[in-house]
C-alpha cells in the first residue's frame, strides 16, 4: 500500500497534463486545417494519428510510465510542428511582403532642342506614363516642395504642369511632335523610368536616337499588392507563374523585364506537373490596353501586368506566382548539389564561354544558368523557343533532384534564404 501512495498523489498532476496535452493537440489540428499546409490526404492521416494519441492520453491512467511517454511524445510533436509553423510563416511573410525599392527615373527632352544643348530652359509641361506602376509616387515627387528636388526639377510644379499618357509610344510621340501637336497635349520633357527607357531603346532605335537625358533621379517606391486568384483547396489543380528577372544590378524590383515566363500547372490528385513556356519576345496583347507588345515588356508595368496578360492570353487563372533573378537561380541549384542535364547538340554559351558536346552533364548553378540563357548558338534549333525548352529541362531536373534528396528538409533554410 505504501508504494501506491505516490501514484495516487501524482494522478491529479498527471490528469492536468493529460487535459493540457489533449487541448494543445486539438489546437494544433485546428492550425493545421486553417493554414492548409498539408494536402487533404496527408492531413487525414495526421488527424487520425492525433485522435489516436488524444484517446490514449485520456484512456490511459493506470500505466504511469506509458502515460508519461505519450505525454512527452505529444509535447515534442507539438513543439516540432510549432517550429515548422513559425519557419513557414516567417519564410512566406518575407517573400510576400511589399518592400521599398529604389527605382531610377530620367527627365528627357529632344536631342535637337536648345534645352538639350544648353542644359537650361523651361521643362514644363512634363509628360508622364499613366500605366507606370509607380504613377502615384511619381506624382507625389513632382508635386512635392521644390527644395526636395535638384537640377532642372528644382522648381514649383502643380498638377497642370504634367500630363499623363497611356503608353510609351504616345508619350514619346507627344515630345517628338510637340510643334505639330495641339497645345493641350504638347510636352517639352518626359519623366520616364529607366526600365521603360531600356525597352524603348530595344524596340525603337529611331525614337531613342532623338532623345536626350537631362537628369536622372532615384525614387523610393513600394509595390502594390499582387493580384492573384487564390486556390481554395490543395487537392484541386492550381497554377503557378514563374517570372525570371534579367536584372543587371542583381536586385529583384517589382517592375522589371521578365525574360523567363513559365506557367506550372499542378494536379495533386494525379501527381502531375505540366509546364508551359511562353517566349519572352512573343507579342501578346497587354492586359492594360490591349495593344500588342513583347511579353517581357509587360513586366515593366509590374508583375500584375505580366500575370493578367498571360491570364487573358491563355484564358486561365493564375493562383500563385514566384519571381526570381539569375543570382537566386544559381544559388538554389548549388544548394541542391547541381543538376543533371542531357544536351542533345553542340552548345557554345555566350555567358561563361562554355562549350558542350552532345551528352549528359552535371551542372552547377553558374553552368546551368549559362545553359538556360543561351540562345544564339542554338538559333538553328529554334532560338528563343529552344531556350524555353532548355529552361523547362532545368526546372524538371530541379524538381527531380529535390524529390530524390533525402536531406531536402534540412536545406529549406538555405533555399528560402536565396530567394527571400
Kindly report the CATH number assigned to the domain that includes residue 172. 3.40.190.10
**pLDDT (0 to 100) of residue 32:** 76
pLDDT at 7 over 70: no
One domain, residues 179 and 61: no
Q: 39-54 b/e with 16+ CB inside 10 Å = b?
A: eeeebeebeeebeebb
- What mean pLDDT is predicted for residues 290-307? 89
One domain, residues 272 and 259: yes
Rounded distance between C-alpha atoms, residue 25 and residue 59, angstroms: 15
Greater pLDDT, 290 or 91: 290
73 is in which domain, residue-wise? 5-96
pLDDT at 10 over 80: no
Number of domains in the chain: 3
Long-range CB contact pairs, 196-204, < 8 A, 24+: 196/129, 196/132, 196/168, 196/300, 197/106, 197/108, 198/257, 199/168, 199/257, 199/297, 199/300, 200/168, 200/172, 203/294, 203/297, 204/169
Identify whether 227 is part of a domain: no
**pLDDT (0 to 100) of residue 417:** 61
- What mean pLDDT is predicted for residues 275-301? 89
Last residue of a domain, one of 96, 125, 159: 96
Answer whether 108's CB lies under 8 Å from 213's CB. Answer: yes
- What mean pLDDT is predicted for residues 15-22? 74
Kindly report, residue by residue over 366-399, the tens digit of the pLDDT.
Answer: 999 899 888 878 877 777 788 888 988 998 888 8
Kindly report, residue by residue over 159-193, the tens digit of the pLDDT.
Answer: 889 999 988 889 999 999 877 666 567 899 999 99
**pLDDT (0 to 100) of residue 388:** 84
**pLDDT (0 to 100) of residue 96:** 55
- What mean pLDDT is predicted for residues 343-364? 89
Identify whether 229 is part of a domain: no
Mean pLDDT for all residues in the chain:
82
Answer whether 131's CB lies under 8 Å from 168's CB. Answer: no
pLDDT at 264 over 70: yes
Of 129-138, 146-155, 224-233, 255-264, minimum mean pLDDT range: 224-233
Identify whether 14 is part of a domain: yes
pLDDT at 198 over 90: no
Amino acid at each position: 500500500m505504501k508504494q501506491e501512495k505516490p501514484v495516487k498523489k501524482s494522478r491529479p498532476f498527471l490528469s492536468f497534463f493529460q487535459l493540457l496535452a489533449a487541448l494543445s493537440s486539438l489546437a494544433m489540428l485546428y492550425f493545421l486545417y486553417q493554414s492548409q499546409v498539408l494536402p487533404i490526404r496527408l492531413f487525414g492521416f495526421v488527424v487520425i494519428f492525433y485522435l489516436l494519441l488524444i484517446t490514449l492520453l485520456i484512456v490511459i491512467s493506470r500505466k504511469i510510465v506509458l502515460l508519461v511517454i505519450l505525454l512527452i511524445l505529444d509535447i515534442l510533436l507539438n513543439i516540432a510542428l510549432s517550429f515548422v509553423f513559425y519557419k513557414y510563416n516567417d519564410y512566406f511573410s518575407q517573400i510576400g511582403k511589399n518592400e521599398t525599392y529604389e527605382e531610377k527615373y530620367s527627365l528627357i527632352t529632344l536631342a535637337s532642342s536648345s534645352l538639350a544643348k544648353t542644359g537650361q530652359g523651361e521643362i514644363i509641361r512634363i509628360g508622364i506614363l499613366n500605366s507606370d506602376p509607380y504613377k502615384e509616387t511619381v506624382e507625389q515627387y513632382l508635386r512635392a516642395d521644390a527644395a526636395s528636388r535638384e537640377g532642372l526639377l528644382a522648381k514649383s510644379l502643380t498638377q497642370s504642369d504634367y500630363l499623363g499618357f497611356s503608353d510609351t509610344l504616345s508619350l514619346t510621340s507627344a515630345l517628338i511632335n510637340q510643334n505639330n501637336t495641339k497645345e493641350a497635349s504638347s510636352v517639352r520633357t518626359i519623366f520616364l523610368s529607366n526600365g521603360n527607357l531600356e525597352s524603348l531603346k530595344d524596340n525603337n532605335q529611331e525614337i531613342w536616337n532623338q532623345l536626350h537625358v537631362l537628369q536622372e533621379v532615384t525614387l523610393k517606391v513600394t509595390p502594390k499588392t499582387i493580384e492573384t486568384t487564390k486556390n481554395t483547396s490543395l487537392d484541386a489543380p492550381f497554377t503557378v507563374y514563374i517570372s525570371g528577372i534579367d536584372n543587371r544590378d542583381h536586385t529583384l524590383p517589382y517592375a522589371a523585364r521578365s525574360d523567363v515566363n513559365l506557367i506550372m500547372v499542378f494536379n495533386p490528385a494525379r501527381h502531375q506537373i505540366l509546364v508551359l513556356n511562353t517566349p519572352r519576345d512573343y507579342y501578346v496583347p497587354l492586359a492594360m490596353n490591349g495593344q500588342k507588345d513583347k511579353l517581357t515588356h509587360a513586366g515593366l508595368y509590374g508583375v500584375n501586368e505580366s500575370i493578367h496578360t498571360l491570364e487573358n492570353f491563355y484564358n486561365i487563372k493564375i493562383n500563385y506566382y514566384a519571381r526570381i533573378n539569375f543570382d537566386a537561380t544559381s544559388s538554389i541549384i548549388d544548394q541542391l548539389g547541381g543538376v543533371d542535364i542531357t544536351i542533345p547538340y553542340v552548345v557554345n554559351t555566350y555567358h561563361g564561354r562554355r562549350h558542350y558536346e552532345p551528352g549528359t552533364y552535371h551542372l552547377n548553378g553558374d553552368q546551368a544558368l549559362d545553359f538556360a540563357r543561351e540562345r544564339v548558338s542554338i538559333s538553328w534549333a529554334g532560338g528563343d523557343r529552344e531556350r524555353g525548352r532548355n529552361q523547362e529541362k532545368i526546372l524538371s531536373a530541379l524538381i527531380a533532384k529535390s524529390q530524390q534528396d533525402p536531406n531536402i528538409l534540412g536545406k529549406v533554410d538555405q533555399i528560402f534564404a536565396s530567394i527571400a
